[in-house]
Amino acid sequence: MNPIYLVILIVILGIWSYNLHKKYPNKENNEKKALIENIDSIIFAGITALIIITFIVRTFYIPSSSMVPTLQINDFIIVNKFVYNFYNPARHDIVVFHPPAEAHAEGKDFIKRIVAVAGDTVEIKSGVLFINDVAQNEEYILEPIMYDMERITVPKDSYFVMGDNRNNSDDSHVWGFLPRKNLVGKAVLIIFPFNRCRTF
């Protein structure tokens, strides 16, 4: 929801609640009192939910196998949109983002794992990911990487992201670096299916 629409809605609901209290200033009987209190509770809960959904979290549906085995097709997750206002994204964070133009996926959001941050070097050889010339022990990936990539350096305000299903993922090894401005937020929780509920 556009924040402007949220502000307008809050103002409208506030005026409506104020008019109810003005119409029944003394809360003349228990029935009217209960009605007004219930309406106030609904308005408060609705505004709180809208603020949370608009500014703090969002849900995200997993449409592909690029993050298997960590995330399965049809998983629903919670994404914290607010967290990166307080600290920088780090290696191993699972993030939702608007893919850069080079990914040719306009209108879609992607979910991948940050494997390298600005200033890091990235190289893939013999099925192993090297960050700053150190081989990474990636127990969470589906299988060893079946391609090589020459050593590159991640530029300022950018990230190198990869799917955990390394051999079936449209990620930075295909289309390049992810600009920080494209980040939507950090994946924090699987909420459905219920038997897969867990935090990251």
- Say if CB 130 and CB 162 are below 8 A apart: no
Structure tokens at 66: 């690029």
Pairing of strands 57-61, 76-80: antiparallel
Bridge partners (DSSP) of residue 116 are 160
Give the list of residues 6+ apart from residue 27 with CB closer than 8 angstroms, or none: 33, 36
Q: Would residue 133 be called left, alpha or beta, if left means φ above 0 and alpha means ψ between -120 and 50 degrees?
A: left
* Cα distance between residue 73 and residue 64, in whole Å: 5
Cis peptide before 193 (omega within 30 of 0): yes
Cα 126 to its chain centre, rounded Å, is: 32
Catalytic residue among 112, 169, 172, 186: 112
Catalytic residue among 22, 23, 64, 66: 66
156 noted as active-site residue = no
33 noted as active-site residue = no
CA distances from 56 to 26, 42, 53, 87 (A): 38, 20, 6, 15
- Catalytic residues, by residue number, are 66, 112
